[in-house]
Structure 1
């Protein structure tokens, strides 16, 4: 969790936050939020699933693995993953912004395929140290005794739990399994590291709709090849 104190400036990826003289300004490439906020109120930024900006098109996150992994037996891998930031004023959710450029991809065919938020990462055999602002996810690859070539994993992200350790964010452990239509992850509700502290979920994020103008949506919609 990040706090925005009066008179402070903060930058997280492409998100810029300024709180000065009672005015709170938060912007990313897709929106600009401005509020008059008195100095006695607490302003915080909380990590939330990366599916709300610039428009909630899907509940799924598609993680493409740049270095495909061949797995013979069950194995834990690590990947770098995105998140969005909920803007919370005294426990009241007022908006959502993203530190990362947004792309989407269609998994499957145009009739019954899945539209997913798209992100790329290398796979790591252990927890990487050079993370930057990205979050980390531990992916438990389940093979059921058959060799697996893992090139991507699709995460049902809407109810994803976040953990925090010394300012670094983590997803809950993801359990990847092969299905007839691709590799999907189950949410396990397990912390990926022992010292992980669960991040409180803003309320009412589940019912929030982020509205953008038509021209904004057309301008910023980007589809991964």
Structure 2
């Protein structure tokens, strides 16, 4: 699925979408996906299918609501995983020839009606071990305070985020949540959540986000 594919006749299935490549005369390959069709002149370059952050119509934040709130004792931390939506970018060389969303697309308002922000939205259990879903984010929830803390959701900065992948799964960078002063602070570190992953984009952190609501 993710990674490089020969420009030859084949079907490539990605979640609920299917890409059809069809070789034609003169070294031409027809690319089809739903209503999208492109004609590619083959020169030995491979087609690249890469994960992309779930920014939808241009949002910069992803809200993941935990199916069950997470409770962390004072001076301790909890590591785990959540499912996270991703988008798909299809490239030849460095040219993007197609970009699409897989699965159901949802949005939510974070904050007040007057000052809130529209986010991509997803509900996920909090997993102790990596789930077998298309998109995954690893979290470290740290509580440096002297009080017990509860967390019901996380707001992840995703616009401009690097991504990581294996053949079957896409990963957001490691996300660190610090629970302090009643305002959780979220850090998209830009770092791979584990070794051996392929990278898309610069491995740079994004500005920390303060969850005021």
Instruction: Report the TM range for the smaller structure's normalisation.
Output: 0.7 to 0.9
Which gives a bigger RCO, structure 1 or 2 (Cα 8 Å, sep 6+)? 1
Contact kept in structure 1, 2:139 and 2:177, CA below 8 Å: yes
Partner of 2:121: 118
Instruction: Name 2:31's counterpart in structure 1.
Output: 24
Is the alpha carbon distance of 1:105 and 1:51 closer, same or farther for their aligned partners in structure 2, counting shifts above 3 Å? same
Q: Does 1:75 align with 2:78?
A: yes
RMSD between aligned alpha carbons?
A: 2.2
Over 3 Å counting, the alpha-carbon distance change for 1:181 and 1:93 in structure 2 is farther
Q: Which has the larger radius of gyration?
A: 2
The Cα offsets for residues 154-198 of structure 1, whole Å up to 9 and x where unpaired, read as: 001012222224532221110113478964521112221122332
Match of 2:10 in 1: 8
Q: Distance in 1 between matches of 2:149 and 2:99?
A: 37
1:84–1:99 CA contact under 8 A, matched in 2: yes
Q: TM-score, normalised on structure 2?
A: 0.80
Higher strand share: 2
Task: Find the aligned partners of 1:181 and 1:147 in 2 and give their Cα distance.
Answer: 11
Q: Unpaired segments of 5 or more residues in structure 2?
A: 203-213
Q: Give 1:200 shift.
A: 4.4
Call closer, same or farther: CA 1:37–1:126 in 2, change over 3 Å.
same
TM, length-normalised to structure 1: 0.76
SS of equivalent to 1:74: strand
CA 1:7–1:166: 2 relative to 1, 3 Å? closer
Contact 1:137 1:170 in 2 (8 A): yes
Seen in structure 2, the aligned counterparts of structure 1 residues 189 and 159 have a Cα distance that, compared at 3 Å, is same
Moved more, 78-87 or 144-153: 144-153
Matches within 5 A, 1:66-145: 66-72=67-73, 73-128=76-131, 131-132=132-133, 134-145=134-145
User: Aligned partners of 1:3, 1:126: CA distance in 2, in Å?
Assistant: 28
Rounded to whole Å, the distance in 2 between the matches of 1:180 and 1:142 is 13
Q: How many residues align?
A: 191
Is there any run of 5+ residues in structure 1 with no aligned partner, and where?
Answer: 202-225
